Structure 1
Amino acid sequence: MKHYSSKIVLGLVIALAGFSASAQEFKVGVVNLDRIFREANSAKAAQTKLEQEFSKREKELNDLATQLKTQSDKFEREAPTLAESQRVARQRQLVDLDRTFQNKRREFQEDLSARKNEELQQVIERANKVVKTLAETEKYDLILQESVYVNPKHDITDKVIKALNASR
């Protein structure tokens, strides 16, 4: 669906550009969202906020993984000398610990992903407001987000990043 809509937009741009060339200059700009996510201060601040918010849980998860590895290695070394009942009990403990680890890791990933999406959505909303303001003040006819190729003269990402950083 997105593929078709981008072809339609591209067709409209080409048609409008050809039509407008005779009447007046058609002004197009393109914004690279990936660069905004990497370079804008608000995106960097969001990343730092997420790292601080999730660092404690990530450390706990890493500690649990280390504990699981240590106990598993110890079990592998001692298994041949253990009585059958002890071996079965230790295997159960390892399986339980692994299950706990897997659940916590999955929850961590889901929570991190959800929060990351929230933060990135806020950055996108702020960037879209800046783009709209820029389009109105500099009289752009069309501003696109993302494209296969952009002539550098149409790339307004630097302007958007500068405006985003200034509005902080």
Structure 2
Amino acid sequence: MKLRIACFIGAVLMAVSSMASADIKIGFVDLQRIMRESAPAVRASKRLEKEFEGRRQELQKVAAQGKALQQALDKNSMPEADRRARERELVRLNQDFLRMQRELNEDQNARRNEELAGLQERINNAIQQIANTEKYDLILQEAAWNTPKIDITDKVLKALADK
């Protein structure tokens, strides 16, 4: 994938250099930085954190119950019938914990993907607005190297903060 992008960038740069007489304006956006630092990304992250906090706490309670039960079993100071019952309870708790953890991860991933899709659309709209306003011919979102002179990430972050 990166090889294809590098080839595409190389072809674009060769085409750009062959049009030396024409003024071509190129910009670069650090998408990872925008996903970390933009106001909508931070709000989405906090929203997801808050949405799943209760389920994470519930998962921690089940883990603590399992740990307490395991410690009780390790003491070896109970009758054999009680020991077997507690071992079965520990197996059930472990299964519940693994199921709850799997479901939480799946739900978190699904919600994160929903949030990222909306965020990606907002980012693309902000980039397109800047490109149209400032008459950019090409804006790259991925590059092996770029100069700060063409980096417009701060402009995109500002545009996203205004919304």
Deviation of the 1:84 alpha carbon = 2.8
Deviation at 1:6, TM superposition (A): 0.4
Matched residue, 1:126: 122
Aligned with 1:81: secondary structure? coil
Correspondence list, 1:60-79, <5 A? 60-77=58-75
Q: Larger % of helix: which?
A: 1
In 1, Cα distance between the equivalents of 2:127 and 2:11?
20
Separation (CA, whole Å) in 2 of partners of 1:102 and 1:25: 59
Corresponding residue for residue 24 of structure 2: 26
RMSD: 1.3
Which residue in the other structure is 1:12 paired with?
11
TM-score, normalised relative to structure 2: 0.94
The within-5 A match list for 1:18-167 is: 18-21=17-20, 23-77=21-75, 80-166=76-162
Give 1:146 deviation, angstroms.
Answer: 2.1
- Residue in structure 1 matched with residue 2 of structure 2 by the alignment: 3
Q: Aligned-pair distance for 1:11?
A: 2.0
Distance 1:152 1:125 in 2: 25
Q: Provide the secondary structure at the position in 1 that maps to 2:139.
A: strand
Per-residue Cα deviation, 1:53-109 (whole angstroms, up to 9, x for no partner): 1111111111111111111111111xx333333222211110000000010011101
User: Does the residue aligned with 1:149 lie in a helix, a strand or coil?
Assistant: coil
Of the structure 1 ranges 154-163 and 10-19, higher mean CA displacement relative to structure 2 is found in 10-19
What is the alpha-carbon distance in structure 2 between the residues aligned to residue 114 and residue 48 of structure 1? 16
Whole-angstrom CA distance in 1 between matches of 2:40 and 2:2? 30
Letter in 2 for 1:40: S
Counterpart CA distance in 2 for 1:73 and 1:5 is: 55
Report if aligned partners of 2:6, 2:143 keep a CA contact under 8 Å in 1.
no
Compute the TM-score of the two structures, normalised by the length of structure 1: 0.91
**Cα distance in 1 for residues equivalent to 2:6 and 2:146:** 16
Q: Give unpaired runs (5+ residues) of structure 1.
A: none
Task: Note the C-alpha offset of 1:4.
Answer: 3.7
Q: Distance in 2 between matches of 1:20 and 1:118?
A: 41
Structure 2 letter corresponding to 1:61: L
- 1:151 Cα offset (Å): 0.4
Taking every aligned residue pair, what percent have the same amino acid on both sides? 41
